[in-house]
């Protein structure tokens, strides 16, 4: 039998695990990373893509560039045959089987658009690079439409951007949106400042509940000072094509609603629950202290898809990049110990802190108990993610581009990626606002992110 250690998932958890495992294991074992995308996305920076603070290629890293001895296979996993010890994958060359001795599940979660009525039909999620580029294009189109409208009410509605969720993603995208629309307004000379607005809705007493209370309060203060309408203890009851209805019955008119709340399990979880009796609780895969899956020898789970207990606090690890990376490092050591017939160690991690941006060159952070706000916090944020970039060459290139963007206007290019044979067709994006098509049917036709950034590498020699 092939002595493969197969990792499913190319996010923070999967790539970090592969990079550490390839340093710890030797032939006849080999590490194979399987992902349906050929790159890792730095999801915490997607809000900055929305605000054109960074370009999309600066928040993704090719997986092949991150690995030295591990094998990468671009495939969509369809099932796992645990009895035969093979992973079923759909590749560019058709269906293939990938044998394994150890299998690690690290495939993350999906956005949940079923939490609020109308969310799936009328809101824009922020989970992928394509989502970020689509929202950015939407902002540019809304400003262009305002210039062509004569009705004051319609103009104000088109210029109102509503963000649902006051966690990390919500605060970051609201701050970036506010900076972006006001910095590019000068290029839309018929649009007035008072016709542009950003509102953030938080169903809680403060923003950033994951951070210390004082930083959540400071974030709200800074955002209000920049004209962002912060609505605390406010819950959306329904999302409409022209705004949001709140739980108390009041309505907020808006032309764009962005959703940053809620996750749901990867569809593969449900399939594995049926095929191999995968233990799942609250949508996350149950694990033992060493991150192995109980009752299934050689099966492990980490990252957002896993329910891993943190022995340092005796609580369930939160679904954050910081914990995914820490789990990956510990699991690499545990798998290596298992191969040597030694017991693994329980996962234990003490958080180093937390950071969030609240707009271009603004942020809040807690590092080892020290609170930092404003520009220094934003610099720490950038430094952290720059440090995680692979290869010195890529670090240097991204650093130069980030530094350059600090001193020049943000980009207002509306990227549509029209191909030659599509040049005379009706633009897909225009369909969204066509009155003849509404609701779910219109969304199925029109919601296609303009940039998927999928780099395909035929690679099927298993």
Cβ–Cβ < 8 Å for 450, 137: yes
Q: Is residue 355 part of a domain?
A: no
Give yes or no for residue 19 having a pLDDT over 50. Answer: yes
Q: Is residue 401 part of a domain?
A: no
Q: Which of 174, 203, 213, 198 is nearest to 50 (CA)?
A: 174
Q: Say whether both 179 and 221 belong to one domain.
A: yes
429's enclosing H/E stretch is helix 428-431
Q: Is residue 385 part of a domain?
A: no
Q: Is residue 363 part of a domain?
A: no
The DSSP bridge pattern shows strands 284-286 and 124-125 to be: unpaired
Share above pLDDT 70 across residues of the chain, in percent, rounded to a whole number: 91
Q: Is residue 368 part of a domain?
A: no
What mean pLDDT is predicted for residues 323-335?
97
149-183 pLDDT tens trace: 999 999 999 999 999 999 999 999 999 999 999 99
Q: Say whether both 28 and 133 belong to one domain.
A: no
pLDDT at 158: 97
Give yes or no for residue 462 having a pLDDT over 90. Answer: no
Q: Is residue 395 part of a domain?
A: no
Q: Say whether both 252 and 153 belong to one domain.
A: yes
Higher per-residue confidence, 52 vs 30 = 30
Q: Is residue 273 part of a domain?
A: yes
CATH number of the domain where residue 222 is located? 3.50.50.100
If DSSP codes are grouped into helix, strand and coil, which group holds residue 456? coil
Number of domains comprising the chain: 2
pLDDT at 350: 93
pLDDT at 280: 96
Give yes or no for residue 444 having a pLDDT over 70. Answer: no
If DSSP codes are grouped into helix, strand and coil, which group holds residue 29? coil
**C-alpha to C-alpha distances, 46 to 53, 121, 323, nearest whole angstrom:** 10, 22, 19
What mean pLDDT is predicted for residues 258-268?
93
167-224 pLDDT tens trace: 999 999 999 999 999 999 999 999 999 999 999 999 999 999 988 888 899 999 999 9
Q: Which of 309, 339, 369 is at the close of a domain?
A: 339
Residue 312 DSSP code: T
Q: Say whether both 144 and 227 belong to one domain.
A: yes
115-126 pLDDT tens trace: 999 999 999 999
pLDDT at 187: 94
pLDDT at 435: 34
Q: Which of 339, 362, 391 is at the close of a domain?
A: 339
Residue 43 DSSP code: G
Specify the pTM: 0.87
Give yes or no for residue 461 having a pLDDT over 70. Answer: no
Q: Report the C-alpha gap between 105 and 13 in whole angstroms.
A: 9
Q: Say whether both 238 and 191 belong to one domain.
A: yes
Q: Is residue 377 part of a domain?
A: no
Q: Which of 374, 368, 379, 364 is nearest to 213 (CA)?
A: 364
345-378 pLDDT tens trace: 999 999 888 889 888 788 999 888 899 998 999 8
Q: Tell me the two tokens of residue 118.
A: 């109308």
Q: Say whether both 88 and 120 belong to one domain.
A: no
- Where does the pLDDT of residue 455 fall: very low under 50, low under 70, confident under 90, or very high at 90 and above? very low
Q: Say whether both 12 and 128 belong to one domain.
A: no
Q: Which of 277, 310, 339 is at the close of a domain?
A: 339
Cβ–Cβ < 8 Å for 259, 165: yes
Q: Say whether both 137 and 212 belong to one domain.
A: yes
Q: Order of strands, edge to edge, in the sheet holding 251-253?
A: 236-240, 243-246, 251-253
Q: Which of 387, 407, 408, 409 is nearest to 398 (CA)?
A: 387
What mean pLDDT is predicted for residues 245-262?
95
Mean pLDDT rounded to a whole number for the chain = 88
Long-range pairs for 457-462 at CB < 8 Å and ≥24 separation?
457/38, 457/64, 457/72, 457/74, 458/92, 458/93, 459/72, 459/73, 459/74, 459/91, 460/73, 460/91, 460/92, 460/93, 460/96, 462/73, 462/96, 462/97, 462/98, 462/99
Residue 368 DSSP code: T
Q: Report the C-alpha gap between 46 and 395 in whole angstroms.
A: 18
CATH number of the domain where residue 35 is located? 3.50.50.60
Higher per-residue confidence, 440 vs 280 = 280
Q: Say whether both 249 and 316 belong to one domain.
A: no
Q: Say whether both 139 and 249 belong to one domain.
A: yes
Give yes or no for residue 457 having a pLDDT over 50. Answer: no
Residue 292 DSSP code: B
Q: Say whether both 136 and 223 belong to one domain.
A: yes
What mean pLDDT is predicted for residues 422-444?
47
pLDDT at 389: 78
Share above pLDDT 90 across residues of the chain, in percent, rounded to a whole number: 69
Please give the backbone phi and psi of residue 298, each rounded to the nearest 5 degrees, phi first: 85, 5
What mean pLDDT is predicted for residues 48-71?
90
Q: Report the C-alpha gap between 225 and 244 in whole angstroms.
A: 24
pLDDT at 440: 38
**C-alpha to C-alpha distances, 125 to 152, 170, 259, 322, nearest whole angstrom:** 28, 11, 5, 22
Q: Which domain holds residue 94?
A: 4-47+58-111+264-339
Q: Which range is least confidently modeled, 70-79, 87-96, 117-126, 419-428? A: 419-428
What mean pLDDT is predicted for residues 19-45?
94
Residue 53 DSSP code: S
- Where does the pLDDT of residue 426 fall: very low under 50, low under 70, confident under 90, or very high at 90 and above? low
93-112 pLDDT tens trace: 999 999 999 999 999 999 99
**Is the bond leading into 28 cis (omega within 30 degrees of zero)?**
yes
Three-state SS for 131-184 is HHHHHHHHHHHHHHHHHHCCCHHHHHHHCEEEEECCCHHHHHHHHHHHHHHHHH
Please give the backbone phi and psi of residue 201, each rounded to the nearest 5 degrees, phi first: -105, 125
Can you point out the beta strands (E) in 318-374?
353-357, 363-367, 370-373
252's enclosing H/E stretch is strand 251-253
pLDDT at 427: 60
Q: Say whether both 96 and 126 belong to one domain.
A: no
Sign of CA dihedral 319, 325, 327, 332: positive
């Amino acid at each position: 039998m092939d002595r493969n250690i197969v990792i499913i998932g190319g996010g923070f958890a999967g790539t970090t695990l592969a990079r550490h495992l390839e340093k710890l294991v030797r032939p006849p074992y080999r590490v194979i990373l399987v992902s349906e995308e050929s790159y890792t996305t730095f999801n915490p920076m997607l809000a900055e893509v929305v605000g054109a603070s960074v370009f999309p290629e600066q928040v993704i890293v090719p997986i092949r560039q991150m690995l030295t001895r591990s094998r990468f296979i671009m495939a969509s996993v369809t099932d796992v045959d645990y009895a035969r010890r093979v992973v079923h994958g759909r590749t560019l060359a058709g269906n293939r089987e990938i044998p394994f001795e150890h299998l690690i599940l690290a495939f993350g979660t999906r956005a949940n658009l079923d939490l609020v009525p109308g969310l799936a039909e009328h809101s824009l999620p922020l989970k992928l690079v394509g989502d970020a580029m689509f929202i950015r294009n939407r902002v540019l189109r809304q400003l262009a439409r305002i210039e062509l409208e004569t009705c004051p009410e319609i103009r104000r509605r088109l210029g109102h951007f509503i963000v649902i969720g006051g966690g990390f993603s919500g605060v970051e995208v609201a701050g970036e949106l506010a900076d972006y629309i006001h910095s590019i307004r000068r290029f839309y000379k018929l649009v007035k400042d008072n016709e542009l607005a950003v509102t953030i809705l938080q169903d809680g007493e403060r923003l950033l509940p994951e951070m210390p209370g004082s930083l959540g309060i400071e974030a709200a203060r800074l955002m209000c000072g920049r004209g962002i309408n912060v609505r605390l203890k406010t819950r959306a009851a329904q999302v409409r094509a022209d705004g949001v209805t709140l739980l108390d019955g009041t309505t907020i008119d808006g032309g764009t609603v962005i959703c940053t709340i809620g996750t749901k399990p990867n569809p593969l979880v449900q399939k594995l629950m049926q095929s191999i009796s995968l233990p799942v609780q609250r949508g996350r895969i149950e694990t033992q202290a060493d991150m192995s899956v109980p009752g299934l020898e050689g099966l492990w789970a980490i990252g957002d898809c896993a329910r891993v207990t943190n022995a340092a606090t005796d609580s369930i690890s939160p679904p954050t990049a910081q914990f995914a990376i820490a789990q990956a490092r510990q699991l690499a050591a545990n798998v290596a110990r298992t191969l040597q017939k030694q017991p693994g160690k329980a996962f234990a991690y003490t958080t180093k802190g937390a950071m969030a941006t609240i707009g271009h060159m603004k942020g809040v952070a807690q590092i080892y108990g020290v609170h930092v706000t404003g520009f220094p916090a934003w610099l720490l944020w950038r430094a952290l993610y720059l440090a995680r970039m692979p290869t010195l060459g890529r670090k240097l290139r991204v650093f130069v581009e980030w530094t350059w963007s600090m001193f020049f206007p943000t980009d207002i290019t509306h990227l549509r990626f029209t191909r030659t044979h599509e040049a005379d067709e009706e633009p897909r994006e225009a369909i969204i606002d066509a009155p003849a098509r509404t609701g779910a049917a219109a969304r199925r036709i029109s919601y296609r992110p303009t940039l998927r950034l999928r780099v395909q590498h035929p690679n099927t020699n298993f």
